[in-house]
Structure 1
Amino acid sequence: MPDRPDIPLNALRSFEVAARQGSFTRAAIELRVTQAAVSHQISRLEDAMGLVLFHRTPSGLKLTDAGQALFPVMERGLDDIARMLDRVTGGQPSEVLNIGAVTTFAACWLIPRLEAFAKDHPGITLRLSTNNNRVEIAREGLDAAIRFGRGHWPGIEAHHVMDAPMSPLCAPEMNLRTPADLRGQRLLRSYRADEWPTWLAQAGEPCPPLTGPMLDSSVAMADLAAEGFGVALLPVPMFERQIQSGRLKRPFTTAVTLGSYWLTTPRDRRMTPALNALLEWMREA
């Protein structure tokens, strides 16, 4: 067994929380101490190790190479200790997951299923925040983020959740029989400029000049389409409930897949049992 020096446990705990939260301020809130106390513990640890663990930058804390090497070891060790304490004390294992999610996925797919997730996994508490697909996991104190895209983000490990084939959706009273009927219609669009041209090419139609409103929310586009304001190109799985209820109509079967939904984590973090449970549950649901 290796010799154990005088291990500064409080300082190591402060380091793990600060590295996970990306901020001394948020670490202080979680630990219920002052920011100065967290800073003092980190300085003590750095002095004891003779290493710098954080770069202090205007955008927040950034782990040094030494910090990146230490963080997953500390995170894994503290998780193992927590699980063992639950086991030996007979407590109910529990874990809080702070999850960020792109608004469309959160509002249209995940939130309606949260009750089912809670029944299937009573030991996991889910705390959900929404974003517009731009998210910094560590800086925002998240465990993971659900994003839309092709699965490639710098420094990020992406776990596929589901594909999101896109097709035009409109108000039920709108009479669209063939893709050619889209000529002259107001085509609602997102900031991703390739969506309508790609779908129309798949349908065998030229793309007209796109002059309709540009929105950064698929939920807003769906609301406008349901009110008859235009035709929206949307990820169909996110709006199945509205289609089934008759609020929206899908006039064509043609669909294109320009991205998928992914559960994403920083590459230097391991997937916890609770995150794995959430990922598998979403895939099955």
Structure 2
Amino acid sequence: MKRTHLPLNALRVFDAAARHLSFTRAADELAVTPAAVGQQIRALEDVLGVVLFRRTPKGLELTDEASAGLEALRSGFLHFEDAVRAMQAGQSSHVYTIAAPREFFSAWLAPRLAEFRKANPEVRFSLVSDEDADFTEANLDLAVRWAEGPGDLEGTALGETGRVTVGEGCWIAWPGDTEPEGDDCESPPLSVGDAGQALAAAAAGMGRARVPVLLAQSWLESGRLQHLGEHAESRHGYWLVAPTPQWRQKKVKALVAFLAG
């Protein structure tokens, strides 16, 4: 059903004038002039087709039509205030919903979230494995994406960009490097689903792979790799992203600062 357009500003002025029974005191409350209050009231009367106030020797009085709708109007404003508080509550929530590639979560993100939670024990995390999940549908706060930049979202790069070669032998293909070149193999003998699987395969001696530097460094530091090979520049990197409203939330700013610091 199509909603009727509501003159909310004029209704707010009417509420103030009805409480004070004075355009002057209503103007003081709303930080406008009495003339502006009178203009809003007249415009509202034109829209509604009723008279809202009458002037008497004792001052302003509400008409029966105005009194009939006043209680419902004030109840509606209270509901608006409740709605605003509910929307703002997300900024103080301690639950983070984050989408990230599985290999990135296990190798890099998980230990850092654990450190963040040590300093903020009230924090809870909900992880989504689909890095391309829709922010609205998945109710995401943040996402980590292997991309050339943040695109239409707000974002910051995490760590060093580029890729590095690990392992020896024929190339291992994965979605971030689907057609490796530069060896004698006619085609990659092994194709895997993500960079983490490519790293595991290379570490197991099943070939070599070009994988994100950030992941390979994490594996090297944990002893799962013995050395890193040639570094290759790449426009791709791991980006921490979110739409502007989420990016500006206090809780999101705190986690972004920690992860990108």
Name the TM-score class by shorter chain. Answer: 0.5 to 0.7
Q: Give 1:135's match in structure 2, choosing from 133, 144, 147.
A: 133
Given the alignment, which residue of 163, 176, 186 partners 1:192? 176
SS of equivalent residue, structure 2 residue 143: strand
Alpha-carbon distance in structure 1 between the residues aligned to 2:179 and 2:148: 14
Superposed CA offset, 1:158-213 (max 9, x none): 3333333211112xxx5xxxxxxxxxx2201222347745xx6xxxxx89754332
Which secondary structure does the structure 2 equivalent of 1:7 belong to? helix
Note the C-alpha offset of 1:245.
4.5
Q: What is the CA deviation profile of residues 199-245 of structure 1, one whole-angstrom value per residue up to 9, with x for unaligned ones?
A: x6xxxxx8975433222211111111111111111112223343245
Residue in structure 1 matching 2:153, options 151, 156, 163: 156
**Contact persistence 2:97–2:127 (CA under 8 A):** yes
What RMSD over aligned residues (CA atoms) do the two structures have, in Å?
Answer: 3.2
Aligned residue in 2 for 1:272: 249
CA–CA distance in structure 1, aligned partners of residues 78 and 101 of structure 2: 39
Residue 100 of structure 1 contacts residue 142 of structure 1 at CA under 8 Å; is this kept in 2?
A: yes
Q: Does the 8 Å contact 1:124/1:274 carry over to 2? A: no
2:118 corresponds to 1:119: yes
Alignment of 1:68-147 (within 5 A): 74=84, 77-78=85-86, 80=88, 94-131=93-130, 133-147=131-145
Gaps of 5+ in 1: 14-73, 84-92, 175-184, 201-205
The 2-side partners of 1:222 and 1:123 are apart by: 34
Deviation by residue 1:134-159 (Cα, 9 ceiling, x = unmatched): 22111112222111101244x53333
Amino acid at match of 1:252: G
Deviation for aligned residue 1:119: 1.6
Q: Kindly tell me: are residues 82 and 128 of structure 1, through their superposed partners in 2, closer, same or farther at Cα, counting changes over 3 Å? A: closer
Q: 1:210 to 1:134 in 2, by over 3 A?
A: farther
Distance 2:149 2:90 in 1: 32
Report the identity percentage: 20
What CA distance in whole angstroms lies between the structure 1 residues aligned with 2:177 and 2:230?
Answer: 22
Secondary structure of 2:146's partner? strand
144, 164, 167: which is aligned to 2:164? 167
**2:77 aligns to what?**
7
Distance 1:216 1:12, change over 3 A: farther
2:239 paired residue number: 262
Tell me which structure has the larger Cα radius of gyration.
Answer: 2
Return the TM-score normalized by structure 1: 0.56
SS, match of residue 162 in structure 1: coil
CA distance in 2, matches of 1:100, 1:149: 14
**Contact map agreement 1:102 1:147 (CA 8 A) in 2:** yes
Partner of 1:240: 217
**CA deviation after TM superposition for structure 1 residue 80, in Å:** 4.6
CA contact (8 A) 1:98 1:141 kept: yes
Matched residue type, 2:79: L
Is the contact made by 1:94 and 1:125 (CA closer than 8 Å) also made in structure 2? no
Mean CA deviation greater in 4-13 or 212-221: 4-13
Aligned partners of 1:156 and 1:264 also within 8 Å? yes
Task: Measure the CA separation in 2 of the matches of 1:141 and 1:134.
Answer: 13
Is 2:104–2:196's contact at 8 Å kept on the other side of the alignment?
no
Kept in 2: contact 1:196–1:207 (CA 8 A): no
| Deviation for aligned residue 1:270 | 4.8
| TM score, norm. by length of structure 2 | 0.61
Give the letter for the 1:189 counterpart: A
* Residues 15-49 of structure 1: per-residue CA shift (max 9 Å, x gap): xxxxxxxxxxxxxxxxxxxxxxxxxxxxxxxxxxx
1:12/1:136 CA distance change after superposition, 3 Å: farther
Q: Is the 8 A contact 1:161 1:279 kept in 2?
A: no
